[in-house]
Structure 1
Amino acid sequence: MAATSSTTKPEFPWWLAAALVLALAAALAIASSDLYAQVFATVAKGIGITIFVTAVAFALASALGLGIALMALSGSQWLRQIARFYVEIIRGVPILVLLFWIAFAGAPAFVAAWNALTAPLQSAGLIGELLVRDVSLLWRAIMALTIGYSAFISEVFRAGIQSVERGQIEAAKALGLGRVQRFRLIVFPQAIRTILPPLGNDFVAMVKDSSLVSVLGVADITQIGKVYAAGSFRFFETYSIVAYIYLILTVGLSLALRALEQRLRRQHQE
């Protein structure tokens, strides 16, 4: 039997070529049509809000998720049980339902609790009373995405940290490194290679799920498209442009994250 080569030639990304052709055709259609150009110019005004919501919510969700993951891996049974309770409960609630709950139940409860705790300061005239309308719908949406995604991201961090060989951690202990030093110098640099791919997938998913904030009237891509379509009755053109913009964002991010992942893998092999 003839020996097979240990390396296989990578396949040509025909899917990407087809996607680029479609993207180019759509761009030419937008440039050559006054109607599509007008729709694109209008809907594109929401790109900034979409990126802002996604970036802020993902950063907060990653920080919270890392904290939950560390609780889940701690030596305290109580902390582990609290982390597991949080993850299972939050993952069991749809993002849209969580968005409504945070916006219309959580925010008023937070305002009531804040006013109760700061009542002495309010009586002294040091601070004013906080009202529900003071908590903008934008930040209610960001907090909902943060809480919703933190449960999934915590599992990504937990699995990545557990993938580091126990022997290396024991060797770091033998060298006298403290808990924080072991995590910063030994565990996290190795775990990030395992964490990055699923974390990137969660980021791309959040870009898509950020469209849910439109139900609160936040002026993102979807909301602006919905308002424009309702006023002009150009539903096909408007939602085609909305889908086109989201595809450009998500496919572009996926390719960038894949390139970063391959670069890190090559650096590790070297």
Structure 2
Amino acid sequence: MPPPAPAPAPEWSPSDLELERRAFRARASRRSVLLALLSTVVFAALVAAFVIGTPGWRSVQQTFFDPEVLVSAWPRVIEGLWLNIRVLVVASIGVAVVGTLLASVRTLRGPLFFPLRFLAAAYTDVFRGMPLLIVLYLVGFGIPGLDLFPRMPMEFWGTVALVLTYSAYVSEVLRAGIEAVHPSQRLAARGLGLGYVASLRLVILPQALRKVTPALMNDFVSMQKDVGLISVLGAVDAVRAAQIETSASYNFTPYVLAGLLFVALAFPTIRLTDWVTARQRRREQQGSVV
């Protein structure tokens, strides 16, 4: 006669004490959200009342917040913003490639690669210290003056200046991430038969990127903002379009519109950066592998 089948294990359920704790935490969370919302509304109302009550508010409103001027300037400014977005996409790819190459060169070992390390270090020192506005002028007006290249649109030279400047910042962030990876990881990869390039690509860089992701995303947010500086070269982006509309209407509302569009462009990345930073902090605090 076969032995009787074992009785099924009872399903786990939280105790009454645990249920009370969960309910208390939920009530405390809802109370915190309501208090934060109420305090924000009260603070915004006080600030609005103070600004509107100032003697010059009517003049400022007509000069910077005119709805009719905003509507008339919208098509031209939004068309210029698409140019900023295209430049941002191309510049991001270029910065990623050049920054990775510079970081890899600066981490090369041995006296044979000293000239390459020196050139990479000199590059990062120069372009991290030089203001982006000056780089834009030098690249946008200096290089075409050499007559070595065919005539190119100014957004092209603006993209080149952005790549030159931000690749220096990104390369240093990546280099810090590479050097933060424990040397045993590199030795283990070489022990498995991987060459320098393969170990860097498959073992070192993935760990380094996880360590410096928040810093890289902050650099991307900064580049989203600075891409508007290509207007100094004459490219008709959102800022230049706002300047043209302002000259036609003698009203600064188009500049406010362009600024709000840049904020809307950067807002998702800013929130994503905060989420990634908080997630990484939680994982480190609970002892998991980052």
TM-score (norm 1): 0.76
Alignment of 1:18-57 (within 5 A): 33-57=67-91
Contact 2:154–2:233 (CA under 8 A) maintained in structure 1: yes
Alpha-carbon distance, 1:221 to partner: 1.0
Output the amino acid matched with 1:102: V
Structure 1 residue runs without a partner (length 5+): 1-8, 26-31, 113-129
In structure 1, the partner of 2:255 is 239
Task: Give the secondary-structure state (helix, strand or coil) at the position aligned to 2:194.
Answer: coil
Spell out, residue by residue over 1:112-156, the C-alpha distance to the aligned partner (whole angstroms, 9 max, x if none). 3xxxxxxxxxxxxxxxxx54xx22211011101110111111101
In structure 1, the partner of 2:132 is 95
Structure-2 separation of matches of 1:14 and 1:217: 45
Task: Give the secondary-structure state (helix, strand or coil) at the position aligned to 1:46.
Answer: helix
Contact 2:214–2:276 (CA under 8 A) maintained in structure 1: no
1:258 aligns with 2:274: yes
TM-score (norm 2): 0.71
Name which of 192, 196, 200 aligns with 2:217. 200
Structure-2 separation of matches of 1:245 and 1:239: 10
Name which of 136, 140, 144 aligns with 1:107. 144
1:167/1:56 CA distance change after superposition, 3 Å: same
In structure 1, the partner of 2:97 is 63
Structure-2 separation of matches of 1:259 and 1:105: 42
Name which of 140, 145, 162 aligns with 2:179. 162
From the CA coordinates, give the structure whose radius of gyration is larger. Answer: 2
Aligned CA RMSD, in angstroms, stands at 3.0
Task: Give the secondary-structure state (helix, strand or coil) at the position aligned to 2:139.
Answer: helix
Spell out, residue by residue over 1:200-250, the C-alpha distance to the aligned partner (whole angstroms, 9 max, x if none). 111110111111111111111111001100111111x22221221111112
1:85 aligns with 2:122: yes
Structure-2 separation of matches of 1:223 and 1:170: 53
Structure 2 residue runs without a partner (length 5+): 1-27, 49-65
Alpha-carbon distance, 1:196 to partner: 1.2
Q: Percent identity?
A: 30
Structure-1 separation of matches of 2:99 and 2:225: 20
Alpha-carbon distance, 1:267 to partner: 8.1
Structure-2 separation of matches of 1:176 and 1:230: 65
Task: Give the secondary-structure state (helix, strand or coil) at the position aligned to 1:234.
Answer: coil
Output the amino acid matched with 2:264: I
